[in-house]
Structure 1
Amino acid sequence: MTSLGIADAEQLAVSWQLALRAERKSVQTQKNYGDGLRFYLAWCEETGAEPLVRSSLNGWTAHLLDAGAAAATARARQLAVRRFSAWLAEEGEIPADPFLGVKSPKLDERVIEPLTDDQLRALIKSCAVPKGAEPKIAMRHRRDEAIIRFMLETGTRAGEVVALEVADVDLANGQAIVRRGKGGKGRVVPFGPDATLALDRYLRLRRVHRLAESPALWLGDRGKRFSYDALHKSLEQRALAAGVEGFHPHRLRHTAAHRWLAAGGSESGLMAVAGWTRPDMLMRYTKAQASARAAEEARKLNLGDL
């Protein structure tokens, strides 16, 4: 028994968020953890379940899955609650972690197909600036094209893209610095002439934005900083206009990985650019078209030529 009620847990959640900030967790990780815990406590209050006991955590996880949540979503939200309970135990707020040893939902082996060349061209075409568009509208189109091209060429995660600052981008040398990738690791990512041109066009229009002096690279067209949610919404609107079904910004990362290998790039190079430290992550992102790449490689090798 934890002896903590919902009100106690909500109050301690504020301190937990401060601890996450002190650990230099990314803004998105803080948000994801906070959301997961909040949803769990809300469910406990609604159903009358006791918080921070295994029965309620298992019941809530089952509820998420029964309601149609993907296994990955249920896993992430359950993890947030488990991280909170572990912190409570470490801080002496509860005698022991009640969720120690709790198993996460098994993840489905999803195969995510990369975007085709036609789909990519349609996405980019959807960002064309309308003739006579005012600077604010033109900047929005240039921004979205620059983001799409940058993500396509670098395979950078959406959260990493949003966190970029103007000073992180070196157009002359065609590279950008991702200062805090997943796990707090930084890296340099290269990009080519097309992304460079798109970024330059965006930056020229950015100069007249009222927040032009902000260090943030991406700016909203309504006088606001460009957020993680705004990136998802903007790109999903572009996909809708382009007729690309089943789009999610993360598909650009899968697409970048596939195109890298299909063009003859090395696996070690891809891992360095994408920020992966384990080969299994590379396989997870590139397995959808592995057979097609192997067939193309076989044709080039022409092993039957005696």
Structure 2
Amino acid sequence: MDLTDLLASWELHLRAERKSAQTVKSYGDGVRAYIRFCDEHDRPQSIDRTTLRLMMDVMLTEGAKPATATSRHLAVRRFSAWLTEEGEQDTDPLLGLKAPKLDQPVVEPLSDADLRALIKACKGPAMRDRRDEAIIRLMFTTGARAGEVVGMQTTDLDLRENPPNAIIRRGKGGRGRSVPLAVEVAAALDRYLRARKSHRLASEPALWLGDRGKTFTYDALHKTLRGRADAAGVEGFHPHRLRHTAAHRWLSRGGSEGGLMAVAGWTRPEMLLRYTRAQSAARAAAEAERLNLGDI
């Protein structure tokens, strides 16, 4: 099999299934990493359990993040299943193969001081300043994923409703949802939309527009927010930490778990535990103090 050529066909199939651009990229990166591994280690370019296990071992030994290893493993398994469905291989050699058991890293949410510093780093009259502040406020209050934010359109906002809200058209798994917006977020979005009117692409449906007349991509979001974090002195920043932060803040302020799952777009309770594990003890202590269980 020519795995490189078949990968191009699989990516076309994924796009035809309306998978998100980020999902297609993630799966493609995983299979390309597998193909490179086969070439670099003098192994045949074929789907093989031993090769995939060896690839995982080398990646983790060399310091790859557990999330990256898991993503690569999933991509190759999905690719192998597709090859079998398409008749490119007689059987799926990875059928039933489980992902490597890895420690789940604890991601600490950003503190309120960190969030204030990020917002302060966005202060300025330029459209990009207002854009970045609106994005940061949106992400740490709603928990929207970076890919969901990038895909938003101007018609997805209803800032005049009470409360204001936004529509996530295509979340993970193709599921859409409506998310309520805090009034501070709505105000930041309104300031951005007014500044957006002077952009040469103002008539485009995409909500977010880039600098110097360009469109705004997933990579652009990561780059600009990391730049704001550097300016704010927030260490270890990654845009995904804003999702963890949103989950922690929701629960710490008395929000329900069911409400958080609806806003964040989760369908499985284990995702709730994963995103809120870091500060669970602190929230429990604060709740115990409010409950005052010793008072009889």
TM-score using structure 1 length: 0.93
* TM superposition shift of 1:305: 2.3
User: What is residue 143 of structure 2 aligned with on the other side?
Assistant: 155
What amino acid maps onto 1:243 in structure 2?
G
Q: 2:19 aligns with which of 25, 33, 37?
A: 25
Q: Distance in 2 between matches of 1:152 and 1:70?
A: 24
| Percent of residue pairs bearing the same amino acid type | 64
Tell me what 1:194 maps to: 184
Q: Which residue of 2 aligns with 1:249?
A: 239
Q: CA deviation at 1:42?
A: 1.8
- Alignment equivalent of 1:166, drawn from 154, 162, 177: 154
Could you tell me how far apart the structure 2 residues matched to 1:109 and 1:192 are? 31
Q: TM-score, normalised by structure 2?
A: 0.96
Q: CA deviation at 1:268?
A: 0.8
2:39 — aligned with what?
A: 45
Cα shift readout 1:7-35 (whole Å, capped 9, x = no counterpart):
x1111111111111122111100011111
What amino acid is aligned across from residue 218 of structure 2 in structure 1? Y
SS of equivalent residue, structure 2 residue 135? helix
- Quote the residue 2:209 is aligned against: 219
Q: Work out the CA distance in 2 between the residues paired with 1:303 and 1:94.
A: 63
Hey, what does 1:106 align to over in structure 2?
101
Map of 1:276 onto structure 2: 266
Alignment partner of 2:119: what SS? Answer: helix
Shift of 1:222: 2.7
Per-residue displacement from partner, 1:24-66 (whole Å, max 9, x unpaired)?
A: 1111000111111112112212222112122222222222112
SS of alignment partner, residue 172 of structure 1: coil
Q: Which residue is equivalent to 2:223?
A: 233
Determine the C-alpha separation between the residues in 2 that align with 1:303 and 1:37: 54
- Say which SS state the counterpart of residue 212 (structure 2) adopts: coil
**Letter matched to residue 214 of structure 1:** E
d(CA) in 2 for partners of 1:223, 1:56? 46
Q: How does 1:67-146 map to 2 (within 5 A)?
A: 67-129=62-124, 138-146=126-134
Count of residue correspondences: 293
Q: CA deviation at 1:271?
A: 0.8
> Hey, what does 2:165 align to over in structure 1?
175
Q: 2:13 and 2:138 mapped to 1: Cα distance?
A: 33
Displacement of 1:211 in angstroms is 1.0
Checking the alignment, whether the CA contact within 8 Å between 2:225 and 2:239 is kept in structure 1 is yes
Q: Secondary structure at the match of 1:10?
A: helix
In the alignment, which residue of structure 1 is the partner of 2:250?
260
Question: Displacement of 1:98 after TM fit?
Answer: 1.6
- Does structure 2 conserve the Cα–Cα contact (< 8 Å) formed by 1:236 and 1:248? yes
Q: Determine the C-alpha separation between the residues in 2 that align with 1:261 and 1:35.
A: 35
Displacement of 1:261 after TM fit? Answer: 1.0
- Contact kept? 1:179, 1:186, Cα under 8 Å: yes
Q: Which residue of 2 aligns with 1:15?
A: 9
CA contact (8 A) 2:66 2:104 kept: no
Q: Deviations over 1:226-282 (max 9, x none)?
A: 111111111111111111111111111111111111111111111110111111111
Alignment of 1:279-294 (within 5 A): 279-294=269-284
RMSD: 1.2
Structure 2 CA distance, aligned partners of 1:71 and 1:32? 15
Q: Is the 8 A contact 1:71 1:106 kept in 2?
A: no
Cα deviation digits, residues 96-122 of structure 1 (max 9, x gap): 112112221212132111111111100
Query: Which segments of 5 or more consecutive residues in structure 2 lack a partner in the other structure?
Result: none
Give SS of 2:279's match: helix
Distance 1:80 1:256 in 2: 28
Structure 1 runs, 4 residues or longer, greater than 4 Å off? none
SS in structure 2 opposite 1:176?
Answer: strand
- Kindly provide the amino acid, as one letter, of the partner of residue 153 in structure 2: E
